[in-house]
Amino acid sequence: MSTQSSPSPRPLPERPNLRHLKDQARDLYKSGGAESLTQAQFRVAREYGFASWARLKAHVESLDRTGQLKTAIQGNDVERVTELITAYPTLIHQDGGAPLVRALAPDRLPMLKVLIGFGANVNAEVWGWFPMIFFPCENLEPDVLKVLLDNGANPNCAPSDRRGPGTALDYAISTYVRRQHDLTACIDLLLAARATTRFDVPVVMDLLRGRVDSVAERLTADPSLVTARFPRLEFGATGGRMLMLQGATLLHLAAEFQNLEAATLLLDRGADVNARATVSENGVGGQTPLFHSATQFSDNGLPLTRLLVERGADLTVRTKVPGHYERGGEIVERTALGYALHLEEVTRKPKTIAFLRKHGAPE
């Protein structure tokens, strides 16, 4: 790490070049600003906040190697990565585990395994608080998640400063991605690794895992589940909006996660298509399942929206709901169509909007 020689040293360029720095020192010497080239190099180093030319040189060379490693990882160049880390083993731990983060992608699994083989820490906390395992949980990438778990990643970690949503399973359930197959795979992998979750309500977990047969069995054993509301479901935000599922029914949950089979089952078992979620103390909530299906990304919620409308969804319901996630604290009062339009800049769902308008939905 550099030692600054003054309160406000000159910042290095974004991509410092050692040859350019040597030219600066040579120009300083030739202009008479230093008695020798060595003295000129020392003055250049101090200008940039380093105690010596040797420390400046080492810092720039380190950045160069780091950049080479980054490029090699992004290019899936396993051979070059192996060469660099073999020659410079500390590179694997640069920037809080950044090399491993760059390999956390389905098309970089061989690279991921190479980095782990060189000692990359699968339980590192990126940025000092974000567990490595949260990346594939956020993106619902089961192949990546499996490699981490197979190599000792702790599924029951939690951010050290508690800013995150809890365990890896909590994070997978809470993510904004909506792909049933990948959600099922990630949940199954985490449960097999003995992951825990604060959302451990059996019928809810069955629905999230896409186990509709198990949901049906539970409804048969306890028909009250069809109309029950679940206050602990602190997840569900997606489509650019902060709408959650606290106090919602299983039909809300099926609409949010676009599970057409589960929604059909629930409606056939007597679920109220116009059931209202619990209203919070500040008057926010009370949305019907339609609010969840109509506000999904890229018309992905259209099949569920069609089903709900066919089964009698009230298009005129208007209630207060959380607004756009980038406008913290925003509360809007909208119908389902109005809510979809409010978020259209992010979600891009023209077919859903056209469908609701065709059926006379007000804004």
At position 22, the amino acid (one-letter code) is K
Domain membership of residue 263 (yes or no) is: yes
273 with 312: CB under 8 angstroms? yes
Does 180 map to a domain? no
pLDDT at res. 223 = 98
Per-residue model confidence (pLDDT) at position 328: 85
226 is a domain residue? yes
> Can you give the CATH number for the domain in which 238 is found?
1.25.40.20
- Contact residues for 19 (Cβ-Cβ < 8 A; gap 6+): none
Stretches in the chain below the pLDDT threshold 50: 1-6
The residue out of 88, 105, 122 marking a domain boundary is 88
pLDDT of residue 3: 44
Query: Residue 56 in contact with residue 21, Cβ under 8 Å?
Result: yes
Q: What is the DSSP letter of 125?
A: E
For residue 16, tell me if it sits in a domain: yes
Q: Which residue has tokens 């309160």?
A: 7
3-state secondary structure of 150: helix
Contact assessment for residue 187 and residue 169, using Cβ atoms and an 8 Å cutoff: yes
Find out whether 186 and 137 touch, Cβ atoms under 8 Å. yes
In a domain, 339, yes or no: yes
Strand-pairing partners, residue 241, are: 238, 324
Q: d(Cα 95, Cα 320) in Å, to the nearest integer? A: 43
> What pLDDT score was predicted for residue 284?
97
Three-state DSSP class for 15?
A: coil
Q: How far apart are CA 324 and CA 362, in angstroms?
A: 20
Does residue 160 form part of some domain? Answer: no
pLDDT at residue 66, rounded to an integer: 83
How far apart, in whole angstroms, are the C-alpha atoms of residue 183 and residue 205? 11
Residue 230 lies in a domain: yes
Domain range spanning residue 323? 222-358
Q: Which of 88, 103, 133 is the last residue of a domain?
A: 88
What is the number of domains present in the chain?
2
Residue 3 placed within a domain: yes
Decide which of 55, 88, 121 is a domain's last residue. Answer: 88
